[in-house]
């Protein structure tokens, strides 16, 4: 009947037709413009055919449809609001035409049906789903809402309250839960999906199940009373400042659930268009594209890599134990060495505690826990290191200790073994002087806590070869991490950009700005923690040590004028959360609840250092912290520390928690506009060298170029 590059129509027996989705030259089905064009052509054929009695929609790939093509979305976001609404309306009309075919339709859902893919499935009269498949609307994670009738049809099928849970949370839903909610009509074993869906279609054709009444459930408005204020309170954790998608989805569904179908579609389209034109959505979509770019870069390295069948970690502290857990739990056995049994016990206990949490959440069973622990081999010597393909050194952050350990372990490993140092600040070239094969040595900087933080900086020294980088990137990827290849410099990428931010923080403190206010302002800006709280979490001692490295590495702009508040805290035995004393005091009250409150002694200590108290607005606080961070991000790109703006932005998002809806420091500059950012910097240029534009930035500004085209 029809053969295209994305789908085909084939006649089956007894007047049934099968529409098979199979996008050529792609591992997945996605609703790009080509697919939608072919679908429109197929629907015309189906509408005009006089001998068709029923339609089965299925996928020839492991997943039904993973969603719309985001790369095409980016181009369409540049359209005017009216043009964008017209573009959305065309697909809405197509899905309505499919929905209104004069015979029953069944979608057989395998793998994933997400976003536009789920909306396509909703346009069918019935949905039969494999028991291992998932459906849902992840659009909120891109700052969007479904735009092709998804929230309208789903809210009528399962009720507005449940539909809000799906659309606002953005999590894929398992088959059993989808059936219980009423979003699908049957769950079957994956290997029986096609036959079961066809049997269901035959029942609909014969009249054993009524397709018209089932389809009407998606069309007819509901008389559902919703309390908007109560809903927003319920979803309060999802309502993020600066990212309006969740709140606008709540408003849209609450408004359209009781409207006629066509009017409801217009409400959803209006919501989609408004979000698509917002800065937050532009940044989140760019973040998605950046993530895709990083995966492609990592895969290029992985193809060149020597497999890591056995790894090892030196040091069984918090970081070493975390590395051991992460490696073992993702399938690579690991040797964990330290110099005493107490340290090894601590490392095993770290892994055990993490596994026990997985057990409590039902994500692991006892056999799985035992398998992971059996993959960690604690040892006090190098006996088993003759089989290690890669060794991560994770001892104390001291160059002399690290150099000695690296020189020692190199004597016991095979010639092909890669050595990697988990250092956050120490020069890889400096450490490379201690090894005999510097070409097989690099940095592998994990972020704490290892099991939660997705980023790994793979640091290339001047003598590191590509094979070493490839193997290290592949190992990080196998651990479920996102590796970014970084050239050696003090602080590498993330810490080099972070400490100018803290330089600005120190200046504000010494001018009498309350750290509690600074934290509140920056958290409202979108950071998960303000700078004072983050310093306590990292550890004041760690911060002071790293700051000293940065000052030594970049004295012309990273040295401080006068006293450094965190150095004074450290001298007063304030380590942050490590000992319960930092900018805040931490403890447990009489009821057993943890508390955090501003430290009175620290406030007095800071007050004694204030010599020139100034009044600043909240926006000035933001600017004085973000300018040095952003200008250092620009310098990292210009200095070739990483190759692309995407790596800069993803490093800060994954390593520091930079506000996702702002896209990263370079995307933040693009959003403000280079001219506007330059004007802000000029207002604060008297703050010192960190508050100056680079020559490269000025050239880009004059050429009217952005960091992201």
Write the DSSP string, 663-708: TSHHHHHHHH-HHHHHHHHHHTGGG-GGGS--HHHHHHHHTT--S-
Shared-domain flag, residues 481 and 552: no
Distances (CA, A) of 200 to 11, 63, 97, 174, 203: 17, 20, 22, 21, 5
Q: In 3-state terms, what secondary structure has residue 604?
A: helix
In a domain, 95, yes or no: yes
Shared-domain flag, residues 248 and 320: no
Answer with the one of 423, 453, 488 that is the final residue of a domain: 488
Shared-domain flag, residues 427 and 457: yes
Which residues are CB-contacts of 85 (< 8 A; sequence separation ≥ 6)?
A: 269, 270, 273
pLDDT at residue number 514: 97
Shared-domain flag, residues 267 and 186: yes
> Over 90: is that where the pLDDT of 456 sits?
yes
> Which residue would you say has higher pLDDT here, 625 or 611?
625
Q: Indicate the angle between helix axes 261-276 and 150-158, nearest 10 degrees.
A: 130
Shared-domain flag, residues 658 and 686: yes
Token pair for 680: 């802000």
In a domain, 66, yes or no: yes
Q: What is the mean pLDDT of the chain?
A: 95
**CATH code at 220?**
3.90.226.10
Q: In 3-state terms, what secondary structure has residue 392?
A: strand
pLDDT at residue number 591: 83
* Cβ atoms 545, 535 nearer than 8 A: no
- Average pLDDT of the segment spanning 204-226: 89
Number of domains in the chain: 3
> Over 80: is that where the pLDDT of 241 sits?
no
pLDDT at residue number 47: 95
Shared-domain flag, residues 326 and 343: yes
pLDDT band at 240 (very low <50, low <70, confident <90, very high): confident
In a domain, 446, yes or no: yes
Distance (Å, whole) CA 474 – CA 521:
39
In a domain, 290, yes or no: no
Shared-domain flag, residues 261 and 316: no
Answer with the one of 437, 458, 488 that is the final residue of a domain: 488
Shared-domain flag, residues 482 and 400: yes
* Cβ atoms 472, 486 nearer than 8 A: no
pLDDT band at 83 (very low <50, low <70, confident <90, very high): very high
Q: 34, 416, 445, 676: which is the annotated catalytic residue?
A: 445
Shared-domain flag, residues 202 and 59: yes
pTM above 0.75, yes or no: yes
What are the pLDDT digits (tens) for 641-689? 999 999 999 999 999 999 999 999 999 999 999 999 999 999 999 999 9
Which residues are CB-contacts of 447 (< 8 A; sequence separation ≥ 6)?
A: 453, 455, 456, 494, 655
Query: 441, 424, 443, 445: which is closest to 432 by C-alpha?
Result: 441
What are the pLDDT digits (tens) for 380-416? 999 999 999 999 999 999 999 999 999 999 999 999 9
What whole-number percentage of the chain has pLDDT above 90?
91
> Over 90: is that where the pLDDT of 73 sits?
no
pLDDT at residue number 242: 79
In a domain, 319, yes or no: yes
**CATH code at 535?**
1.10.1040.50
In a domain, 194, yes or no: yes
In a domain, 300, yes or no: no
Whether residue 445 lies in the annotated active site = yes
**CATH code at 443?**
3.40.50.720
> Over 90: is that where the pLDDT of 611 sits?
no
Whether omega before 449 lies within 30 degrees of 0, making that bond cis, reads yes
pLDDT at residue number 153: 97
pLDDT at residue number 232: 87
Distance (Å, whole) CA 444 – CA 686:
38
Shared-domain flag, residues 414 and 514: no
Cα 282–Cα 529–Cα 325 angle in degrees, nearest 5: 95
Distance (Å, whole) CA 582 – CA 534:
10
- The Cβ-side half-sphere exposure at 219, using a 13 Å CA radius, reads 14
| Long-range contacts at 686-692 (CB < 8 A, ≥ 24 apart) | 687/504, 687/507, 687/624, 687/627, 688/557, 688/561, 689/556, 689/557, 690/500, 690/503, 690/504, 690/557, 690/558, 690/627, 690/628, 690/631, 690/632, 691/627, 691/628, 691/631, 692/631
Largest separation between any pair of C-alpha atoms in the chain: 89
Distance (Å, whole) CA 505 – CA 625:
6
In a domain, 386, yes or no: yes
Shared-domain flag, residues 247 and 160: yes
Distances (CA, A) of 364 to 323, 357, 370, 439, 596: 19, 9, 10, 40, 32
Shared-domain flag, residues 508 and 481: no
Parent domain of 416: 308-488
CB atoms within 10 A of CB 573: 10
């Amino acid at each position: 009947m029809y053969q295209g590059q994305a789908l085909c129509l084939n006649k089956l027996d007894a007047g049934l037709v099968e529409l098979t989705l199979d996008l050529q030259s792609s591992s997945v089905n996605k609703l790009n413009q080509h697919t939608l064009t072919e679908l429109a052509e197929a629907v015309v054929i189906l509408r005009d055919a006089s001998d068709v009695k029923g339609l089965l929609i299925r996928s020839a790939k492991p997943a039904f449809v993973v969603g719309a093509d985001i790369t095409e979305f980016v181009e369409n976001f540049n359209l005017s609001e009216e043009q964008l609404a017209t573009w959305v309306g065309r697909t809405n009309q197509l899905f309505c035409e499919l929905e209104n075919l004069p015979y029953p339709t069944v979608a057989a859902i395998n793998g994933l049906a997400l976003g536009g893919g789920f909306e396509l499935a909703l346009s069918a009269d019935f949905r039969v789903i494999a028991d291992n498949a998932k459906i849902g609307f992840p659009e909120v994670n891109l700052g969007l809402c479904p735009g092709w009738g998804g929230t309208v049809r789903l809210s009528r099928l399962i009720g507005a309250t449940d539909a809000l849970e799906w659309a606002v949370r953005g999590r894929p839903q398992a088959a059993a839960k989808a059936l219980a909610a009423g979003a699908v009509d049957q769950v079957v074993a994956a290997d029986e999906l096609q036959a079961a869906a066809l049997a269901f279609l035959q029942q609909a054709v014969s009249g054993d199940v009524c397709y018209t009444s089932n389809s009407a459930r998606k069309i007819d408005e509901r008389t559902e009373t919703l309390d908007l204020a109560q809903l927003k309170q319920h979803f309060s954790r999802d309502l993020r400042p600066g990212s309006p998608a969740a709140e606008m989805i709540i408003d849209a569904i609450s408004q359209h659930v009781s409207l006629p179908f066509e009017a409801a579609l217009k409400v959803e389209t209006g919501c989609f268009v408004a979000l698509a034109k917002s800065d937050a959505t532009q940044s989140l979509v760019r973040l998605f594209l950046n993530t895709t770019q990083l995966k492609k870069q990592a895969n290029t390295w992985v193809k060149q890599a020597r497999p890591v069948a056995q790894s090892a970690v030196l040091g069984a502290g918090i970081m070493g134990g975390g590395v051991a857990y992460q490696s073992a739990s993702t399938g690579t056995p690991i040797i964990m060495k330290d110099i005493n049994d107490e340290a090894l016990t601590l490392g095993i206990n770290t892994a055990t505690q993490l596994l026990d949490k997985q057990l409590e959440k039902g994500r692991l069973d006892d056999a799985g826990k035992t398998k992971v622990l059996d993959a960690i081999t604690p040892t006090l010597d190098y006996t088993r290191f003759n089989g290690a393909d890669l060794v991560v050194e994770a001892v104390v952050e001291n160059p002399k200790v690290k150099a000695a350990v690296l020189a020692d372990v190199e004597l016991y490993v095979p010639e092909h073994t890669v050595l990697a140092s988990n250092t956050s600040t120490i020069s890889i070239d400096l450490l490379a002087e201690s090894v005999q094969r510097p070409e097989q040595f690099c940095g592998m900087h994990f972020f704490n806590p290892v099991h939660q933080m997705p980023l790994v900086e793979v640091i290339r020294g001047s003598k590191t070869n590509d094979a070493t980088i490839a193997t290290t990137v592949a190992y990080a990827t196998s651990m479920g991490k996102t590796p970014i290849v970084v050239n050696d410099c003090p602080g590498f990428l993330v810490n080099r950009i972070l400490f100018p931010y803290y330089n600005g923080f120190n200046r504000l403190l010494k001018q009498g700005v309350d750290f509690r206010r600074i934290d509140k302002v920056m958290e409202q800006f979108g950071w998960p923690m303000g700078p004072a709280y983050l310093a306590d979490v990292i550890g004041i001692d760690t911060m002071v040590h790293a700051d000293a490295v940065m000052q030594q590495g970049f004295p012309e702009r990273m040295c401080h004028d006068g006293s450094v508040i965190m150095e004074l805290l450290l001298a007063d035995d304030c380590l942050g959360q490590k000992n319960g004393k930092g900018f805040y005091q931490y403890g447990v009250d009489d009821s057993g609840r943890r508390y955090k409150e501003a430290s009175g002694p620290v406030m007095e200590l800071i007050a004694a250092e204030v010599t020139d108290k100034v009044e600043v607005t909240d926006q000035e606080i933001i600017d004085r912290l973000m300018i040095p961070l952003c200008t250092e991000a620009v310098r990292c790109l210009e200095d070739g520390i990483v190759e692309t703006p995407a790596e800069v932005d993803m490093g800060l998002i994954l390593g520091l928690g930079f506000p996702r809806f702002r896209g990263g420091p370079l995307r933040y500059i693009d959003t403000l506009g280079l001219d506007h950012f330059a004007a802000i910097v000029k207002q604060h240029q008297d703050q010192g060298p960190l508050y100056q534009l680079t020559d490269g930035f000025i050239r880009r500004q004059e050429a009217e170029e952005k960091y992201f085209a």
